[in-house]
Amino acid sequence: MYQGIAASPGIEIGKAFVLKEVEIEINTANISEEKIDREIKCLEEGIAKSREQLAKIREKAELELGKDKAKIFDAHMMVLDDPMFIDEIKDKIRSERITAENAINQVAKKYIEMFNNMEDEYLKERAADIKDVSVRLIKNVLGIPIHSLADLDEEVIVIAKDLTPSDTAQMDKTKVKAFATDMGGRTSHTAIMARSLEIPAVVGLGSISRCVSEGDTVIVDGNKGVVLVNPSEDILKQYGELKLEYQRFKEEMKKLKDLPAETKDGERRVEVAANIGTPKDVKGALDRGAEGIGLYRTEFLYMDRENLPDEEEQFRAYKEVAEAMYPRPVIIRTLDIGGDKKLPFLEMPKELNPFLGWRAIRMCLDNPELFKVQLRAILRASHYGKIRIMYPMISSVSEIRRANAILNEAKEELRRESKPFDENLEVGIMVEIPSAAVAADILAKEVDFFSIGTNDLIQYTLAVDRMNEKIARLYEPFHPAVLRLIKNVIDASHRAGKWTGMCGEMAGDPLAAPILLGMGLDEFSMSAASIPQVKKVIRSLTYEQAKEIANRALEMENPEEIREMVGKIISEIK
Ligand code: PEP
Ligand code: MG
Q: How confident is the model at residue 574 (pLDDT cuts 50, 70, 90)?
A: low
Find the 117 Cα to ligand 1 centroid distance in Å. Answer: 34
* Per-residue model confidence as pLDDT tens digits over 125-176: 778 888 889 999 999 999 887 767 776 778 999 999 988 777 777 788 889 9
pLDDT at 23 over 80: no
Ligand 1 binding pocket includes 504 (Cβ within 6 Å): yes
Q: How confident is the model at residue 474 (pLDDT cuts 50, 70, 90)?
A: very high
The closest-lying atom of ligand 1 relative to the alpha carbon of residue 505 is: 3
**Do residues 165 and 76 lie in contact, with contact meaning Cβ atoms separated by under 8 Å?**
yes
Mutation probe of ligand 1 site: the residue of 431, 432, 460, 505 with most atoms within 8 A of C-beta? 432
The pLDDT of residue 147 = 67
Ligand 1 binding pocket includes 336 (Cβ within 6 Å): yes
Ligand nearest to C-alpha 457 = 1
Q: How confident is the model at residue 570 (pLDDT cuts 50, 70, 90)?
A: confident
359: CB partners within 8 A, 6+ apart: 336, 337, 338, 339, 393
* Per-residue model confidence as pLDDT tens digits over 291-322: 999 999 999 898 867 789 999 999 999 999 99
Alpha carbon distance 236, 13 (integer Å): 8
Q: How many CB atoms lie within 10 A of CB 468?
A: 11
Which residues are tagged catalytic?
189, 503
Find the 447 Cα to ligand 2 centroid distance in Å. Answer: 18
* Per-residue model confidence as pLDDT tens digits over 204-221: 998 899 999 989 999 999
Tell me the DSSP string of 266-301. Answer: SS-EEEEEEEESSGGGHHHHHHTT-SSEEEEETHHH
* Per-residue model confidence as pLDDT tens digits over 269-295: 999 999 998 898 898 899 989 999 999
Q: Which regions of 436-571 does DSSP assign to beta strands (E)?
A: 449-452, 499-502, 523-526
Ligand 1 binding pocket includes 453 (Cβ within 6 Å): yes
Ligand nearest to C-alpha 297 = 1
**Do residues 130 and 79 lie in contact, with contact meaning Cβ atoms separated by under 8 Å?**
yes
Ligand 1 binding pocket includes 503 (Cβ within 6 Å): yes
Q: How confident is the model at residue 523 (pLDDT cuts 50, 70, 90)?
A: very high
Mutation probe of ligand 1 site: the residue of 298, 303, 356, 503 with most atoms within 8 A of C-beta? 503
- Residue list, CB under 5 A from ion ligand 2: 432, 453, 456
Find the 457 Cα to ligand 2 centroid distance in Å. Answer: 8
Domains and CATH numbers, the chain: 23-142 (1.10.274.10), 149-241 (3.50.30.10), 254-428+499-573 (3.20.20.60)
Alpha carbon distance 142, 136 (integer Å): 10
pLDDT at 188 over 80: no
291: CB partners within 8 A, 6+ apart: 261, 271, 272, 273, 328
Nearest CA to ligand 1 atom 4: 453
Nearest CA to ligand 1 atom 3: 453
**Do residues 275 and 453 lie in contact, with contact meaning Cβ atoms separated by under 8 Å?**
no
The pLDDT of residue 265 = 96
Lowest mean pLDDT: which of 53-57, 508-512, 554-558?
Answer: 53-57
**Do residues 191 and 8 lie in contact, with contact meaning Cβ atoms separated by under 8 Å?**
yes
pLDDT at 410 over 70: yes
The pLDDT of residue 187 = 66
Q: What is the 3-state secondary structure (H, E, C) of 234-249?
A: HHHHHHHHHHHHHHHH
The closest-lying atom of ligand 1 relative to the alpha carbon of residue 452 is: 3
Which residue type does 164 have? T
pTM, to two decimals? 0.68
* 5-to-8, 9, 33, 190 alpha-carbon distances in Å: 9, 11, 50, 12
